[in-house]
Amino acid sequence: MMASLRRLRGLLRKEFLQIWRDPSSLAIAFLLPAVLLFLFGYGVSLDASNVPLAVVAPHPSALAASFASAFEQSPYFRPQRFLTIQEAERAMANRQVQGVVWLPSDFDRRAASGGNSPIGLFVNGVDTNTARIVEGYVQQVWADWLATQAAEAGRPAPLPIALQPRVRFNPAVKSRDFIVPGLIAMIMTLSGALLTALVIAREWERGTMEALMVTRVTIREILIAKLIPYFVLGMGGMAATVALGVFRFEVPLRGSLWTLTATSSLFMLAALGMGLLISSAARTQFVAAQIAIIATFLPAFILSGFVFDINSMPWPVQIITYAVAARYFVAILQSTFLAGDVWSVILPNAAALIAIAAIFLGASRALARKRLD
Amino acid sequence: MPPLDDGAPALRLEGVRRNFRSGKRVIAAIDGITASAAHGAVTGLIGPDGAGKTTLMRLIAGLLRADAGKIEALGIDVARDPLAVQARIGYMPQRFGLYEDLSVRQNLDLYADLQGVPADERPARYAELMHMTALGPFAGRRAGRLSGGMKQKLGLACTLVHPPDLLLLDEPTVGVDPVSRRELWQIIDHLTRDAAVTVLFSTAYLDEAERCDAVLLIHEGRLLGAGPPGVFTAELAGRSFFASADVGRRRLQERLARAPDVIDTVIQGSRVRVVTAAPTPPAGAALAADLPGLTFAPTPPRFEDAFVARLRALDPGAPPAAAPAAPSPAAASPAEDVIAVRRLTRRFGDFVAVNDVSFHVARGEIFGLLGANGAGKSTTFRMLCGLLPPSEGSLRVAGFDLRRAAASARERIGYMAQKFSLYGDLSVERNLRFFSSVYRLFGARQRRRIDWAVAEFDLASQMSATARDLPLGFKQRLALACALMHEPDILFLDEPTSGVDPLARRDFWRRINALAESGVTVMVTTHFMEEAEYCDRLAIMAQGRVLTAGAPEAIKAAARTEARPDPTMEDAFIAMIEAAADAPTQALRP
């Protein structure tokens, strides 16, 4: 037992010295998440803003001009005026505008009477996501305008009563608040898997693994000595990424730090376990990085429910998503950041993370051999 | 305490077999080897690359499992209890197994922790190892910043930190400079003599066989012979001679190779070493008529002679017919410098890879750059081929200044890279076609050159085989053929025969000689000391500098002393490095 502890201490000291002297693992733990968070945090947005929109008013009137200017004031749209519907449709076909709002000749009369919306809306359906957003925003602009008109005229708001949506948990409906926690889960999946997979592949490449294996060290000691240092490093990277999300992207953190730390630890174990499993197959850093990206990053992006709704996937794909650790962590993070410690969400997802971490770590232990074949 | 010698060998192999899969093919890396190694002796595991040396080492260390047969190390069945074996052996893999980011001391600490060396025993053990390896002054230096020779010694110290009963060293001397190589052998001698360690030492350098107590000669996964090196050479008693005659040495060799009863011919200095099938020198009226002034002087046989004799016995149907040299227009022109290098320097950051190097090579000459890994040979080569711009100095190749007209110079150059840059997935024929089209050969001319290559290099039997699956010697021939497709005037060969078996190396040099005779200028790098003997002239490089340049005979003659009347190229190399190391101190003297 003493000898085993001494071996473990030797390996751990070596690993920390290497981390300190070779900046590549520090870069994977800190630089990579920061760069990705900046890149995606600013790049990926599910909000529409400055959407180019054609406004067609063939029969100008005071009322029509008032409605058209409502679009000018909206932060979501960048309206362009057209006189004929044909010109507007051509602009949409050329993707110069995402949608066309058409005010028919009897706009004034129908608007004054309230009732059915008299405007026509054509949306470019190629990008369904944007199309739906544009549709919603135009309806809101219409409702707001009607209400303003009514208030000015001193009569009650027209029927049907405009809905006043109240959004729970993300009152500003900023998609960034919803995206950043998801991004953190995705980025830490990659960082964690790369940490262990790359350092072990590096030992194979440099021939040091071969020399280690012919000492009295056991395979369990080798695995533990990889897990501990990179767990510490990965959690450091996690903390830095969360801090970046909270302070730079101003995402609220409503849950407790304690819950965040505990669940992140579970997730980090799962991610590092994935890396260890990859390293049992990959003997070069190039292959290890390729597998890590394909097997962890892409599923975390696509199958975690963070960008695409899992419920709308076909059932075979839904089954696959249960194996994606990021799926559970995305749910936990979104809840911890936006809603607080919602135990009914956190506990089952944490249990799933424990199961996945156990499976990956167990499989790496079972597959690792103190041999080259 | 060393184990008592109860007569049982330290290592016993019984019918060991190990296969590897490569796609659908199964390759027998170790094809039924039965052998043993005695306690306290140095056993050399000797064979060319691909013979199975590393696989056998890994099998003994418990890193691989045998498909059949039994391995017993120190009386323990390796397959049954690899951990017990690993607790008592030291194993140094080919790349020494060092952590380059860690210091010398930290590497030792790590292996001491892993091998369970108690803390109170460490100071004494470290002191001993530092004394043995002379690494004491560098204890705080990172392993990555050590020279190749020092890395090798640190790797050895790490495997010795817990005194092993059996020490496995996988090619520790390949590519290491001769001074470090000599020091390593001194350490090994010390270990076996004073500490009774059993050493298994693998190498591709055949001359190291004579330093071992016993030799296991392996070739293509099979045991070709076992026993003390004397047993191998004894078979050849009276069968090796030095031949000289009043003709050029290449002609002499080429003619002798065709004589009946001749097993092997090698150029050594100005003479030709001949090994015969019977203990009499080759004779015959025809031979005497072709070679005026032919004389033979007996010489003691070497281990390499024995290896070649055994290989020839395995495959008697392959007598080396000397290739008729293709006449080249260049042959007619008078001697002139085809390559002229003056004060060439190349820096990478603050590291000077090539330092103020000057030499010149005449048309039809074979010029060698001899040196250890990291001496600057390959960097010099890349500059000569126009692949790397020099930091300082001038380079002229085939009359072109490489700084200005690298592309024009390159058309006249054939280049064969280390490890043969062939397309492994393409067939032999496709490789030939590709490389000829790269040199803008098309249509009838391309067909003519491919036909020439197939005939000249004996490629017809394997035209549709994929290059990856070819034996090493065949790959080497194909790579040379590809480099010659455009009939270059100058041929650059970077470590061309590294690790190929002696027959393939002879075959290769026979072709190179024929090319040189036809007027092609050949430049070659090598870390094989003996290979330098094939060159007309050579430059010895160390740490980016040229230590000396000249004909092999002259370089060896310069190292002649009373104690060493007949120095080898390695002796000369060591003398040169020691002289270079002494030079600054001498300069300081009043």
Q: For residue A372, which of A204, A215, A222, A227 has the smallest C-alpha distance?
A: A204
Q: What does the pLDDT average to over A21-32?
A: 91
pTM, rounded to two decimals? 0.80
**Is B287 within the bounds of a domain?**
yes
Asked if residue B57 lies in contact with residue B168, where contact means CB atoms within 8 angstroms, the answer is: yes
Of the listed ranges B54-68, B530-544, B571-585, the one predicted with least confidence: B571-585
B95 to chain A: closest CA residue = A207
Look at A58 and A158; give whichever has higher pLDDT: A58
Q: Is the pLDDT of residue A157 over 60?
A: no
From B207, B232, B257, the end of a domain falls on: B232
d(CA A286, CA A268): 22
Mean pLDDT (chain A, rounded)? 85
Compute CA distances B358 → A223, B372, B492, B540, whole Å. 53, 19, 17, 12
Mean pLDDT is lowest, of A158-172, B73-87, B375-389, B494-508, for A158-172
pLDDT at A170 over 70: no
To probe the interface with B, which of A16, A215, A369 has the most B CB atoms within 10 Å? Answer: A215
**A 21-50 residues inside an 8 A Cβ radius of B:** 21-22
Q: Are residues B176 and B194 in the same domain?
A: yes
Q: Does B100 touch chain A (CB under 8 A)?
A: yes
Q: Which has more confidence, A109 or A157?
A: A109
The predicted pLDDT at position B505 comes to: 83
Q: Are B154 and B123 in contact (CB under 8 A)?
A: no
If asked whether residues A39 and A181 sit together in one domain, one would say yes
Whether B322 shows a pLDDT value over 50: the answer reads no
**Residue B277 CA from chain centroid, whole number:** 27
Q: What does the mean pLDDT of chain B come to?
A: 85
**A256 in reach of chain B (CB within 8 A):** no
At residue A277, the pLDDT reads 93
CB atoms within 10 A of CB A78: 15
Residues 6+ apart with CB under 8 A from B271: B242, B243, B244, B249
Nearest chain B CA: its distance from A207 CA (Å): 5
The answer on pLDDT for B175 being more than 70 is yes
Question: In which band, very low, low, confident or very high, does the pLDDT at A166 lie, cut at 50, 70 and 90?
Answer: very low
B497, two tokens = 């025969």
**Which of A130-144, B182-196, B315-329 is predicted most confidently?**
B182-196
CB contact under 8 A, B109 and A13: yes
List the single residue in B95, B115, B142 with the smallest CB-CB distance to A215.
Answer: B115
CB contact under 8 A, B142 and A373: no
Q: pLDDT tens, A52-95?
A: 888 888 777 777 888 888 888 877 788 888 888 888 888 888 88
Q: Does residue B38 sit in the same domain as residue B122?
A: yes
Residues B204 and B226 both lie in one domain: yes
Residue type, B320: P
Angle at B64 between CA B59 and CA B65, to 5 degrees: 90
Residue B587 pLDDT greater than 60, yes or no = no
In a domain, B21, yes or no: yes
How far apart CA A116 and CA A114 sit, in angstroms, is 7
CB contacts of A217 in chain B (<8 Å) are 114
Which residues span the domain enclosing A283?
Answer: 7-44+174-367
Residues contacting A360, CB < 8 A, separation 6+ = A270, A273, A274, A276, A277
Contact flag A10-B109 (C-beta cutoff 8 Å): yes
Q: Could A14 and B110 be called an inter-chain contact, meaning their C-beta atoms sit closer than 8 Å?
A: yes
- Per-residue pLDDT tens for B389-434? 899 998 888 888 877 877 788 888 888 887 778 888 899 999 999 9
Interface contact flag, B63 A210, Cβ < 8 Å: yes
Report yes or no: A210 at the B interface, CB cutoff 8 Å.
Answer: yes
pLDDT digits (tens, 9 = 90+) for B74-121: 999 999 999 899 989 999 998 888 999 999 999 999 999 998 899 999
pLDDT in tens, A228-284: 999 999 999 999 999 999 998 888 888 999 999 999 999 999 999 999 999 988 889
Instruction: Answer whether B114 sits within 8 Å of A216, measured CB to CB.
Output: yes
Residue A372 lies in a domain: no
Q: Indicate which of A214, A370, A373 best probes the interface with B, i.e. most B CBs within 10 Å of its own CB.
A: A214
pLDDT of residue B76: 93
Please tell me the predicted confidence (pLDDT) of residue A117.
Answer: 60
Interface test with A, best of B58, B114, B158 (most A CBs within 10 A): B114
Contacting residues of A for B115, CB less than 8 Å apart: 215-216
pLDDT number for residue B267: 83
Range of the domain at B295: 235-314
B253 and B193 inside one domain: no
Residue B325 has pLDDT above 60, yes or no: no
Q: Is the pLDDT of residue B6 over 70?
A: no
Q: Give the model's pLDDT for residue B7.
A: 66
**Does A203 lie in the same domain as A288?**
yes
- Is there a contact between A370 and B100 if contact means CB atoms under 8 Å apart? no
Whether A231 and A330 map to the same domain: the answer is yes
> What does each C-alpha distance from A204 to A74, A275, A284, B378 come to in angstroms?
59, 15, 7, 26
Confidence of residue B332 (pLDDT cuts 50, 70, 90): very low
Query: Are A218 and A263 contained in the same domain?
Result: yes
Question: Is B87 an 8 Å CB contact of chain A?
Answer: yes
String of DSSP letters for B382-448? HHHTTSS--SEEEEEETTEETTT-HHHHHHTEEEE-TT----TTSBHHHHHHHHHHHTT--HHHHHH
> Dihedral sign, CA of A106, A108, A111, A114?
negative
Answer with the residue of higher pLDDT: A209 or B260.
A209
Q: Smallest Cβ distance to B106: which of A7, A17, A207? A: A17
CA distance B54 to A249: 55
pLDDT at A28: 92
What number of other Cβ atoms are within 10 A of residue A254's Cβ?
A: 14
* Residue at a domain's end among A121, A153, A185: A153
Of B205, B232, B259, the position where a domain reaches its end is B232
Percent of chain B exceeding pLDDT 70 equals: 94
Q: Report pLDDT for B572.
A: 87
**Residue A168 pLDDT more than 80?**
no
Average pLDDT over residues B127-132: 90
- Of A102-116, A164-178, B320-334, the one with minimum mean pLDDT is B320-334
| Distance from the A25 Cα atom to the nearest Cα atom in chain B, whole angstroms | 13
* B158 chain-A contacts, CB cut-off 8 A: 211
Q: Is B62 on the interface with A (CB under 8 A)?
A: yes
Q: What is the mean pLDDT of residues A341-370?
A: 92
B582 within domain boundaries = no
The structure tokens listed for B100 are 């380059």
Give the distance from residue B90's alpha carbon to the nearest chain A alpha carbon, in angstroms. 8
A93 and A237 in a single domain? The answer is no
The answer to whether residue A2 sits within a structural domain is no
Q: With respect to residue A202, please indicate whether it lies within any of the assigned structural domains.
A: yes
At A245 the pLDDT is: 92
Q: What is the mean pLDDT of residues B49-62?
A: 90
| Position A47 confidence tier, pLDDT thresholds 50, 70, 90 | low
The per-residue pLDDT for B55 is: 92
A163 domain residue, yes or no: no
A354 touches chain B (CB under 8 A): no
Highest mean pLDDT pick, A352-361, B131-140, B471-480, B514-523: A352-361
Q: What is the CATH number of the domain that holds A147?
A: 3.40.1710.10
Q: Do the Cβ atoms of B522 and B491 come closer than 8 Å?
A: yes
Cα atoms found within 13 Å of the Cα of residue B471, Cβ hemisphere only: 14
Instruction: Tell me the residues of chain B between 419 and 458 that have a Cβ less than 8 Å away from chain A.
Output: none
Residue of B nearest to A212 (CA): B97
C-alpha distance across the termini of chain A, in Å: 28
Cβ of B61 and A214 within 8 Å?
Answer: yes
pLDDT of B33 reads 93
Put simply, whether A7 touches B (Cβ < 8 Å) is yes
pLDDT average, residue stretch A332-352: 91
Mark A12-35 as b/e (b = at least 16 C-beta within 10 Å): bbbbebbbeebeebeebbbebbbe
Min Cα–Cα distance to chain A from B463, Å? 32
Q: How far is B83 from chain A (nearest CA, A)?
A: 6
Specify if A328 maps to a domain.
yes
For chain B, the first-to-last Cα distance in angstroms comes to: 52
User: Which chain A residues contact residue B102 at CB under 8 A?
Assistant: 14, 17-18, 21
pLDDT of residue B589: 39
Quick one: average pLDDT of A30-51? 82
CB pairs under 8 A between A and B: 92
Same structural domain, B226 and B240:
no
Chain B residue with Cα closest to A218: B83
Per-residue pLDDT at B411:
83
The reported pLDDT for the residue numbered B327 is 41
- All residues of chain B having their beta carbon less than 8 Å from the beta carbon of residue A213 are 63, 86
Q: What is the number of domains present in chain B?
A: 2
With 80 as the cut, is the pLDDT of residue A183 above it? yes
Question: B405 lies in a domain?
Answer: no
Burial of B347 (0-12, 13-18, 19+ CB in 10 A): middle
Which pLDDT does position B160 carry in this prediction?
A: 92
Residue B374 lies in a domain: no
Check whether residue A104 and residue A243 sit in a common domain: no
**Which of B58, B63, B71, B162 would best serve as a mutation to test chain A binding (most A beta carbons within 10 A)?**
B63
Q: Are residues B33 and B106 in the same domain?
A: yes
- Residue B338 has a pLDDT of 87
CA neighbours closer than 13 Å in the CB half-sphere of residue B46: 28
CATH of the domain at B108: 3.40.50.300
Residue B158 at interface with chain A, using a CB cutoff of 8 Å: yes
pLDDT per residue over B220-243, tens digit each?
Answer: 899 999 999 999 889 888 899 999
Residues of B in contact with A216 (CB under 8 A): 83, 86-87, 114-116
Which span out of A44-58, A132-146, B65-79, B253-267 was modeled with the highest average pLDDT? B65-79
Q: CA nearest A208 in B: which residue?
A: B97
Q: Are strands B271-276 and B262-268 parallel, antiparallel or unpaired?
A: antiparallel
Q: Indicate whether B226 and B273 sit together in one domain.
A: no
Residues A63 and A207 in one domain: no
Of B284, B314, B344, the residue at which a domain comes to its end is: B314
Amino acid B522: pLDDT: 93
Residue B18 pLDDT more than 90? yes
**Tell me, what's the ipTM?**
0.77
The pLDDT confidence band at residue A32, using thresholds 50, 70 and 90, is very high
CB atoms B109 and A210 under 8 Å? no
Is residue A247 within 8 A of residue B146, CB to CB? The reply is no
Distance (Å, whole) CA B264 – CA B257: 7
A127 and A223 share a domain? no
Distance CA A297, CA A117 (A): 46
